[in-house]
Every structure is written in C-alpha cells, then in structure tokens.
Structure 1
Amino acid sequence: MKKTFGTMIATLRKEKNLTQAEVAEMMGVTDKAVSKWERDLSFPDINSLPKLAELFDMTVDELMQVKVDTKKEENTKIAEMINLVCKGIALAMGIAVVVLSLLEELETENALRMLGLGLACLAISQFSQNKE
C-alpha cells in the first residue's frame, strides 16, 4: 500500500536529517504548515511542488506517486460498519420476536413492528452490498 503524502514528506524530511522548521524555511512557509502537510491536514500549494521535489532530490511525478485521498477507504469502512449493524439489528429483532412470542409476552402488533424493523435493516444491508 502506498504512503499518504504526509507520511512521505515526513519520511523524506527525516532521511535528509531536516527539521520541520528547516524545511519550512527552505520552502518559504511556516513550520506549522509543514506539520499540517505531514499530518495530512493540508497540502502544499501546487506551485511549490517543484521546489519541494527538488528539496528531496526527486521529480514532481515521483513525489506525487503517493495516495493523497484516504476518503474512499474511510467510506468503505463506514459502509461495512453500517452493513454489520443493520444485520445485527435484523438478527436481534428476529430473535426477540421468537423468544417473546414463546414467553407469550408479545402482542401481534408489536411483533409485526419488530419484524418490519428487522426486514428494513436487511433491505438496507442488501442495498448497500448491491451498490458496491
């Protein structure tokens, strides 16, 4: 897996035995800006990329061969979690209806609501799987 841009900058800086302040001075920015780059909170100005690449003895193309956007991975993890939660709710509703019915503690109307909620969760889960 490729490194994020920030991880790449931090690694290159450390390989050159430079501090964030030294990189900042060479780039004409603040050390806070370099810190934000390294933590993937911001990205250097596009016009400064050639200077940054030169600082690390590489081409802009080599510098940009990193993963800049991790949003897709985050969205995938969130979708997986939602899918799992929906299946869990559906299972819980099914078990609750069976157990409460056996104990004669559940009215038909409430059982139908619980089963409906479980089915809705299964539908959401199935829809999200088909969308991928």
Structure 2
Amino acid sequence: MSEDAGNLISQKRKEKKLTQDDLAKELHVTRQAVSNWERNVTVPDRPTIEKLSAVLGANLDQLVRKEQSSKIGDDQKMIDKEVEKMEMPINKYDTAIGLFYAVSLFVGMMVSLLLVVLKKPETWQMWTILVAIGLLVFLILGLTIHGIITLVRKDEGRNNIY
C-alpha cells in the first residue's frame, strides 16, 4: 500500500476519534491488521477497503489500487527481463520448417477438395478415403521437406536431432 494510503487511514481514524482497536472492532479485524495498514506493511482486502472507506469517509480504493498496480507493474518488468534473458533468436530453419508444414497442409487440403469435386463421392467410405489421401499428401510432403531442411541446416550450437 502506498504511504499516502497508510497515512490517510491513520489521519482519518484520528479525525473520527477512533482508536486502532475501535476501528478494528468496527471492521471485524484485529488491531494488528489496522496497525499494519497504517504502517504500510499489508493491504486490506477488497471488501475491507470498501468498509474502511465507508467508516472513515475517505476514498481509499484509488490509493490502494494505485499501489497494487505499481507493484504489479514492477513484477511484470522483472518477468519481462527474465523472459528476455531466456529468449532464443529466431532460427531461419525452424521458421522454414513451420512455413513448409503450413504449405503442405494447404496442398493436402486442396488435393482432398479436388478429389471430392472430381469423384463426387456418394458414400461416407469414399469421403473418408478421399480425405485420407489429402492427409497422406500433407504428411508425406511435410515430413519430406522437414527432413531435407534438417539435413541442410547449418546453425551452430544446436543439436540437429529431429
């Protein structure tokens, strides 16, 4: 919680002439919880913030939310730095393999569609066979291209295990 929120809780509590114990009883929390909020050690949960705002007549929600979002922002920056360290450069061979799998899937679908249009199947068995032929074209073409790219790849420091 921001120092402003802790100070505001303390200030508003004193203006209302409440002790930490009185405020704690009103909110159904411990006196230590109130003390921790005022010293910016902990943050009250959402329902308690709403009760606290009503009892003290102050809008604490924005102060607490601002602190929580800045803490989340700091955490996100730290995560981004860690991810940056872990990221591997884009490998042109892996990109090519993915691209050729996509192309071979498209070719396989077109083969299936062409066979369906030309043969005009009347039974579900014939449909299944024509779609299976398209899938086989996709698999054979994709795996062949994958094998070729894997054989010619020359990137250093990488195992060519596929």
TM-score > 0.5 by shorter chain: no
TM-score, normalised relative to structure 2: 0.37
Question: Which structure has the larger Rg?
Answer: 2
